[in-house]
Amino acid sequence: MFNFFEPNKIFLITSKLTKYILFIFIIVLSIGLIEALFLSPEDYIQSHSVRIMYVHVPSAWVSLGIFSVIALISVISFIFKNKVFSLIGKSLAPSGLLFNIIALVTGSIWGKPTWGTFWAWDARITSMLILLLFYSMYILAWKIFDKKENVNKITSIIAILGAINIPIIKFSVDWWTTLHQNSSVSLISGTTIHSSMLLPLLIMTAAFSLFSLLIFLMKYNTELIKIKNKGLDRL
């Protein structure tokens, strides 16, 4: 069902998409930065330091979203022994790792004026650090076992195991007493954050998602070129 894959045809599509994605990304990011830095209000307690939220929160969301996608396609790859989905996961991982690091770094910067420390072994911070380790293991496994037949199986297992950490990150503030506040944005229980802050938050999330898509396409195209150079018509 998933065996049909022609690198030449796929490359023609993805190579053309990159420049359009880049153009849209620049526009959305510009709007997001204007909203976040100039139009959104300062917090009555945290003052202007709250603006770090517009980088920190979207980075965390995008990082979690990407790993969730990698885990899902890894299940498909593992069950159907399909290399197409493994290639997608391999191409998604770098941007996920990048935003995971950004989330941890900006969280530390934000934590200093808010909590009085750059780092605390808070449940959510710790689980995000664990996610970083799974991202690193996943990417390293591709580098170490890239030429071995079982690389798809190894990387799929790492992603599937790492998926266990996703709900822990999400519900850590509900299950344990943490320094993080409860979620202000929720599709189920509703949103408590004011619209003047929610709008730039969503715009920046869209911008980061587009940037992730851009990195993915660049990485994916590189992998397709490698396949073409090997003289393969499909995976």
pLDDT tens-digit profile of 170-223?
A: 888 777 777 666 666 666 666 768 888 899 999 999 999 999 999 999 999 898
Question: 11-15, 223-227, 228-232 — which one is most confidently predicted on average?
Answer: 223-227
Q: How far apart are CA 191 and CA 203, in angstroms?
A: 16
Judged against a pLDDT cut of 50, whether residue 231 lies above it is answered with yes
| pTM > 0.85 | yes
Per-residue CA distances from 202 to 23, 53, 94, 117, 193 (Å): 19, 11, 22, 28, 12
pLDDT-derived band at 69, boundaries 50, 70, 90: very high
Ranges 47-56, 60-69, 176-185: which has the least confidence: 176-185
Q: How far apart are CA 54 and CA 48, in angstroms?
A: 11
Q: How far apart are CA 46 and CA 109, in angstroms?
A: 13
Judged against a pLDDT cut of 90, whether residue 234 lies above it is answered with no
Judged against a pLDDT cut of 60, whether residue 1 lies above it is answered with no
Judged against a pLDDT cut of 70, whether residue 232 lies above it is answered with no
Backbone angles phi, psi at 46, to 5 degrees: -90, -10
Provide the residue type at 1 as one letter. M
Q: What is the pLDDT of residue 188?
A: 60
Q: How far apart are CA 28 and CA 49, in angstroms?
A: 22
Q: How far apart are CA 195 and CA 201, in angstroms?
A: 9
Judged against a pLDDT cut of 50, whether residue 4 lies above it is answered with no
Question: 39-53, 90-104, 111-125 — which one is most confidently predicted on average?
Answer: 90-104
Q: How far apart are CA 224 and CA 218, in angstroms?
A: 10
Q: How far apart are CA 181 and CA 42, in angstroms?
A: 18
Helix (H) / strand (E) element for 223: namely helix 195-229
pLDDT-derived band at 30, boundaries 50, 70, 90: very high
Structural domain boundaries in the chain? 7-229
